[in-house]
Amino acid sequence: MKISIEALKPWAAPALFALALIYPAMKPSVYHLDVMVSTGIFMILALGLNVIVGYTGILNLGYAAFFAVGAYAYALANIHFGLPFWIGLWIAAGTGALFGMLLAWPALRLGGDYLAIVTLGAGEIVRIVLNNLDGITGGPNGLLGIAHPSFGILPVKFSVHPKPYYYLVLILLVILLWALRRLEQSRLGRAWVALREDELAAGCMGINPVWAKLSAFGISGFIAGIAGSVFASKQGTISPDSFDFILSVMVLAMAVLGGLGNRAGVLLGAFLLSVLPELLRGFDTYRMLIFGIAMILIMLFRPQGLLGEIRHREEFKMRKEKTDETA
């Protein structure tokens, strides 16, 4: 009996979630589990960047700034005001959303490469400001003594062991994937896609480009703030060096590699670019060379990303269904 790929597709997500859920029970090493936690944080960042770059079609080269704002917002709220992680998480997310919208408001008068340069400059400005505000951010030394999450009376203790963070990141990923799926199908999600395809035509159809772009930056910053709070609580210490331009490039490469606008593709790209460097660690001399050649080959032969075709096929299917309903 022949089983088609389409028949297996509905079972792919539950199967992957079940595998991720039982992974710690396979007794991986602490190092491998820690790599998976870092991979999950990168997945959250890639999903957030995909809102701007994949859905709206705006190139953002300073996404590390959104991540940094969220991390420092939680760290400052925890150290100076004693707020626990579960409150600081919302503060970090809200601060990230506010920063994204404040950055977008003046920058949206530009477009294309000029807007990308503005986001690049904003990312570097944030890092330099964090480096120089010694009295608030600790300067180059950063902030120390950031509290780990706590569940109160429940027997779950967050410490240096990555296992609790693994499940925390997994839960956050599931919630974000569900929310982004609903958002894609909403009026706002369709407005983002319309802007990406043709901003002039979208404006003529009654879409407010400014509001749509501001909301994209705000939601993207919200997601980055969540990732920043988890990162800060796990590390226990943060410094400006953790949020450099290379981080922005890596997150962008994850989204492009997997396929812009495709949630599954973005997750795949984040997984590959987080895990493969660790697998190649034994080839210290040639690791980055192999990594670079692999990226070049993928961009040459799959410029739409590993799962880019799936996104276009789904969009075509949605258009066809709407056309059939209209007819």
In a domain, 196, yes or no: yes
Q: How far apart are CA 152 and CA 260, in angstroms?
A: 40
pLDDT tens-place string over residues 235-282: 999 999 999 998 998 999 888 888 888 888 899 989 988 888 777 776
Structure tokens at 256: 């492009």
Could you tell me if residue 39 is inside a domain? yes
Burial of 325 (0-12, 13-18, 19+ CB in 10 A): exposed
Amino acid at 191: A
pLDDT at 1: 41
Task: Please enumerate in sequence order all residues whose Cβ is within 8 A of that of 188, keeping only pairs 6 or more positions apart, or say none.
Answer: 212, 215
Q: What percent of the chain has pLDDT over 70?
A: 87
- In sequence order, which residues have a C-beta less than 8 Å from that of residue 107 and are 6 or more positions away? 115, 118, 119, 122
Q: Name the band, by pLDDT with cuts 50, 70 and 90, for residue 209.
A: confident
Measured distance CA(213)–CA(225) in Å, rounded: 18
Query: Quick one: pLDDT at residue 200?
Result: 82
CATH number at residue 49: 1.10.3470
Name the packing angle between helices 63-81 and 113-132 (round to 10°): 30
d(CA 193, CA 54): 9
Contacts of 138 (CB under 8 A, 6+ apart): 144, 239
pLDDT at position 125 is: 93
How many whole angstroms separate alpha carbon 207 and alpha carbon 298? 35
Q: How many domains does the chain contain in total?
A: 1
324 vs 97, residue with greater confidence: 97
More confident residue, 89 or 322: 89
Say what the pLDDT of residue 127 is. 93
* pLDDT of the residue at 152: 62
pLDDT for residue 318 is more than 70: no
pLDDT at 313 over 60: no
Check whether 49 has a pLDDT greater than 50: yes
| pLDDT score recorded for residue 155 | 53
pLDDT score of 3: 45
Residue 216 lies in a domain: yes
Taking residues 44-65, what's their average pLDDT?
92
Residue 19 covered by a domain: no
Tell whether the model's pLDDT for residue 78 goes beyond 50.
Answer: yes
Q: What is the mean pLDDT of the chain?
A: 84
CA distance 198 to 218: 21
Q: Do the beta carbons of residue 69 and residue 50 sit within 8 Å?
A: no
Task: Please give the residue range of the domain that contains residue 301.
Answer: 29-326
- What is the rounded average pLDDT of the residues 112-123? 86
Judge whether residue 316 has pLDDT over 70: no
For residue 284, pLDDT over 70 is answered with: no
Instruction: Write a three-state SS string for the chain.
Output: CCCCHHHHHHHHHHHHHHHHHHHHHHCCCHHHHHHHHHHHHHHHHHHHHHHHHHHHCCCCCCHHHHHHHHHHHHHHHHHHHCCCHHHHHHHHHHHHHHHHHHHHHHHCCCCCHHHHHHHHHHHHHHHHHHHHCHHHHCHHHCEECCCCCECCCCCCECCCCCHHHHHHHHHHHHHHHHHHHHHHCCHHHHHHHHHHHCHHHHHHCCCCHHHHHHHHHHHHHHHHHHHHHHHHHHHCEECHHHHCHHHHHHHHHHHHHHCCCCHHHHHHHHHHHHHHHHHHHHCCCCHHHHHHHHHHHHHHHCCCCCCHHHHHHHHHHHHHHHHHHHC
User: What pLDDT is recorded for position 46?
Assistant: 95
pLDDT score, position 4: 47
Q: Specify if 281 maps to a domain.
A: yes
pLDDT surpassing 80 at residue 39: yes
Region 22-31: mean pLDDT is 86
